[in-house]
Structure formats: structure tokens, C-alpha cells
Amino acid sequence: MSIWTRIADVIASIGESVGGFLQAIVTRNPGPPEKSVAFTIGMIALGAKMAKADGVVTEDEIAAFKQVFHIPDEELSAVARVFNLAKQDTAGFETYARQIARLFDAQHEVLEDVLDGLFHIAKADNAYHPGEHGFLGQVAEIFGFSPQDFARIRARHVGLADDPWLILGLPHDAGEEEIRRRYRELVREYHPDRHIAAGVPEEMIEIATERLQKVNEAYGRIMKERAA
């Protein structure tokens, strides 16, 4: 059964807000399948709020949202239902962000998946608006990321993406052993199998895979510069 079929079943069975459903999941001890559904619904809800952060929802942003999740055409109606419920919900995006943070407490690698997906939506119209920056910064803060962490995550998408040191979260004067140690840490943290085990749906694993590719590229550039 696909994640979208499970979401359709959830939407058909609940008569409450998206926030109410997420809160019900958070208050018990869910296993990976239930976490996977909650993760995806929470991500859709934040995506709906994200798409409005710059004051307008563009076709590019909607298309990017579909790309993040690889949604098949026959499942679009279920996803659209969650998307519209989130837009109508009086709860602010902070509510959804806190619920996701509680669901994946201390699993920052999973929370980075959420931020990476939201960045993908934000840059879909080839512009990164102040409203989107503020939105993402607040979500990152709720998730427990420091300003330095947020800058590192942002560097993979916009602005300072040409700085491999920032992508690895290292100072420019870091020694070779520190560089290698940090690289090994990130490879372990970003391995797709770890995300699946934590409850991230397989439909989202490409986000972690792309992030690992960015880390590999940054490490390769730094080591090449050091060898020159």
C-alpha cells in the first residue's frame, strides 16, 4: 500500500483539522508506518503554508510540491484534500512545525528533510522571497536548529551554495582530520536507510539522497583544493 493510499484512508476516516490529526499522532508512541503518514501530512500542511509565504501560490510552487513527493496522478485528489484543509485551518504554520518537531524529537536529520523539501518549494519560481526566508527561519528555530545550522541548510539551495565549507558546517581553517571526521558523520547521518527507519516515507528519500550528493561534492572540492 502506498503512502498516498494510507493518507486517503486517513482523510476519509477523520472529521477533524489537520492539526488535530497530527496532535493525536504525537500524543501516542507511533511506529514507523504511522510516523510516515504523519510526516507526509505534516509536510503537505507546511508546504501549503510555505506556498503562501510570499503572498501568492504559483503554478511553479504547486508543481515543485508534486515533485518533492513524486505524486502519481491518481493520488492527487487525496493530497489536494490535505493541502486545502491546511490552507483553511485556522492554526498557523507554527502549530504544524511544533507537532513535527515533537514527532521526530532529537532526529535532526529527519527535520532537515522537511526543511529541504520546503526550500525546494520556495525556490521553484526562481525567486527566494523575504517572506519565505522568514517562514523557513522560524520553522528551523522551532525544529531546534541554530542560526549557523540554518545557514548551512540554506547554503545547499540558495545564496551561498558555492561555499563547500558552509555546506559541511566547517570553518575554512579546519584541519584535514576534522574535515574527514565531519564528512563521515554527515554520510552516516544522511544515509537514506536511516531516514526510512525513522519513519520518513520512501517517496521522500530522494531529498536525503540529493543532500548526501551535495555533501560528497563539497567534500571533494575541499580535498581537491587542499591537494592543489
Taking only the tens place, the pLDDT of each residue in 149-191 is 998 888 888 765 568 898 898 999 999 999 999 999 999 888 8
* Model pLDDT, residue 178: 95
Lowest mean pLDDT among 17-21, 119-123, 153-157: 17-21
Categorize the per-residue pLDDT at 122 as very low, low, confident or very high, splitting at 50, 70 and 90.
confident
pLDDT(88) > 80: no
* pLDDT on residue 61: 60
What is the pLDDT, as a whole number, of residue 219? 94
50 burial class (0-12, 13-18, 19+ CB within 10 angstroms)? buried
Q: Which residue spans within 38-126 are E strands per DSSP? A: none
The full set of domain ranges for the chain reads: 3-227
Residue 157: helix, strand or coil by DSSP? coil
Question: What sign does the dihedral 55-101-91-134 (CA atoms) show?
Answer: negative
| CA angle 73–87–121, rounded 5-degree value | 60
Query: What is the pLDDT averaged over residues 120-133?
Result: 81
